[in-house]
Amino acid sequence: MPFDPTTPSSSSSGRLFVVSAPSGAGKTTLCKAARAHLPELVYSISSTTRAPRPGEQEGQDYFFLSEAQFRQGIEDEQWAEWAKVHDHYYGTSARFIDRHLELGQDVLLDIDVQGARQILKRYPSAVTIFIMAPSMDVLRERLVARGQDAASVIEKRLKNAASEIASKDWYQHVVVNDALDVAIEHFIAILKGGAD
Ligand code: 5GP
């Protein structure tokens, strides 16, 4: 058969990375750094029913859906995983993941612990990474300093953080975000396939 570069063989399938972290652990910063460093890495944009935060853009940060639209997606089996996080629905497009993996491109999912479990069931070779702040006190300080959420929302996020941290043991990699540059280096090394 003649060589056709547009038809990837199954062995050239991309790798799927799943990163989870309690809010405030620095996941967004780490993901941004990784994307700048590894421009070929495809970042999956989730859909959510939560309202956009100031500065967030449709199709760039999330696809912002109504609850009816999201539920329709569940019915249509659009989501590779979905979960209710902090009272809102979040989901990852199955078609998006499969298309890029088939093209041989690595895909990064930034999703919560419930979603990560579903992805591992569906894609058993996914590489899972958990990002942690060095302590709960630091986590609280970061959430307050971020100034994005009301006090009651911060308390809720901290409660969720405690239960998410309890799940970190089944992730293959744990990155402790204490010194940011060290954490970025560790994270990128994992995505390149050369770190514990
Ligand atoms: P935020 O509202 O702060 O952007 O995200 C809240 C949480 O939802 C974060 O833990 C984030 O990783 C998670 N999240 C974002 N997108 C998805 C998704 O598609 N699926 C799941 N399960 N969680 C998501």
142-168 tens-digit pLDDT: 999 988 889 998 998 899 889 889 999
Atom of ligand 1 lying closest to residue 27 CA? 12
Minimal-distance CA residue to ligand 1 atom 11: 111
* pTM value surpassing 0.85: yes
The answer to whether the CB of 160 is under 6 A from ligand 1 is no
* Rounded CA separation 47/60 (Å): 11
- Domain ranges across the chain: 16-192
49 ligand 1 Cβ < 6 A: no
Question: How many Å lie between the centroid of ligand 1 and the Cα of residue 175?
Answer: 18
Rounded distance from Cα 9 to ligand 1 centre (Å): 32
Using the predicted structure, report yes or no on whether residue 7 has a pLDDT greater than 80: no
Spacing, Cα 44 to ligand 1 middle (Å): 11
By mean pLDDT, which of 5-9, 35-39, 73-77, 125-129 is the weakest? 5-9
**Domain 16-192 CATH assignment equals 3.40.1230.10:** no
Q: Which residue minimizes the CA distance to atom 15 of ligand 1?
A: 111
106 Cα to the center of ligand 1, angstroms:
20
Task: Tell me, in angstroms, the distance from the centre of ligand 1 to residue 90's CA.
Answer: 6
174 band by pLDDT with thresholds 50, 70 and 90:
very high
Q: Which pLDDT value is given to residue 194?
A: 64
The reported pLDDT for the residue numbered 146 is 86
Q: Is the CB of 114 under 6 A from ligand 1?
A: yes
Ligand 1 atom closest to the CA of 44, numbered from 1: 19
From 41, 31, 11, 54, select the one nearest 180 (Cα to Cα). Answer: 31
Q: How many angstroms does the Cα of residue 166 sit away from the middle of ligand 1?
A: 17
